[in-house]
Structure 1
Amino acid sequence: MSDDLEAWKTQKESKHAVHHVESPFGGGTVAGRKEMEVHRMSDRLSEKARRDLVQAKMAALAKSIIDTEREYFIKTLWQLDLTQEERADLMKLLREQGIVHLLPGPGEENGESRKGGATYMAIRKYHIIPGTGEEFLHRVQAGFVPIISRIPGFIAYDALQVGNDQIISISVFDTPLGVIESTPRALQWVQENIAGLIQGMPEVMAGQVGASSELDRVYGKARRKLFRRS
């Protein structure tokens, strides 16, 4: 009887060990791969929940007629890490209802006062045809800079060539509205003026500046005035 019990224990331990052996495909242990899959599934569910919440808040905002309620929905939406398309949809809704002025000002996204002096930045990365960088930048300077410099809240715009086949542009605003508005304008201008120089779609990143050496933004304000004179 004791021999049978010992054999059963040995068999059970062997089965348990099988689930923790290294994978022949280099993916770690079976248990480790299962844990990674659970995390990926959780991330997908979290993103779906975020999208569903965005849609629900957008629908509620569209039906609301009270400004204080609208401000709540707008502030909540802004804190949900909106995608480029979602931001464009929000701006469209605000324009249609004539409530763009309710969009949180600098530093107000988390209930702070307007004295926060927050700054917002959009960074775009373009993959260009090798050797066309100089022409790309020339067209941007002559055609797009005058457009973006007139967007409300504009502080600065810079573009630089990286290597032989990339252009990076940085747009800076003192309000999230400027970042939102600059995105469709940049896309339209690129499609109409320099599409032949670009390979694929540009990569766009945007957000609030969290650290800076320019605490009072004097340099930014000076540049904004300089651009607007031209």
Structure 2
Amino acid sequence: MVEEEFSQWTPTTEEIGIDLGIKDVAVCSNGFASGNPKHYQKYQARLKTLQRRLAKKKKGSNNRYKARLKVAKLHAKIADCRLDFLHKLSSKLVSESQAIYTETLAVKNMMANHSLAKAIADCGWGEFLRQLEYKCFWHGRELVAIDRWFPSSKRCNPCGHILDKLPLEIREWTCPSCNSQNLRDKNAAMNIKAVGQTVFACGSSSSGGQSLTDLAILG
């Protein structure tokens, strides 16, 4: 067993809510948007070519072994690029924030949507949440995930009005109650932060100050 000590990052007063998405892997309540390098999409054409060549090789042949190796190396490269992006993103957010509030996602269930499955897999949301969890634990930050059914995107942050529906293609909307202009992802992140702070306050009072990381529910 190898034991390693981690020096905790300097405490900060910043608290953020995070909305996870496809256009931007993470959009924060403070306005930060991570972007999405879409590593799988970037190498998809090359991967398709290598897989086609592999399919044509004779089973058991040395050429098939070499072709399989090329496919495996490209898959490994895609995974490494995605992991590197997620590590840099999660480290940035944890280092700059004392408390992080995020949504709970049933990623496996979402993958059932075949039209979005590749895009969702390319985001690596599950791995990103996992990294946030252990990095918050290492560096004395707080992490909480709100209930997955909370309508963060459909709720107007300024006044609390909730829309009956909000199609995915609508990225900006005007609240019919207060006429606020809401950017879909930032508005959702602000709602997640507000609800997360409430959950944190209730959890801390009922648990005698238990760490928020211990209370987090990561789906």
Structures share fold, TM-score greater than 0.5 = no
Structure index of larger Rg: 1
Q: Which is richer in helix?
A: 1
Select the structure with the greater relative contact order (CA < 8 A; seq sep ≥ 6).
Answer: 2
Q: Give the structure-2-normalised TM-score.
A: 0.29
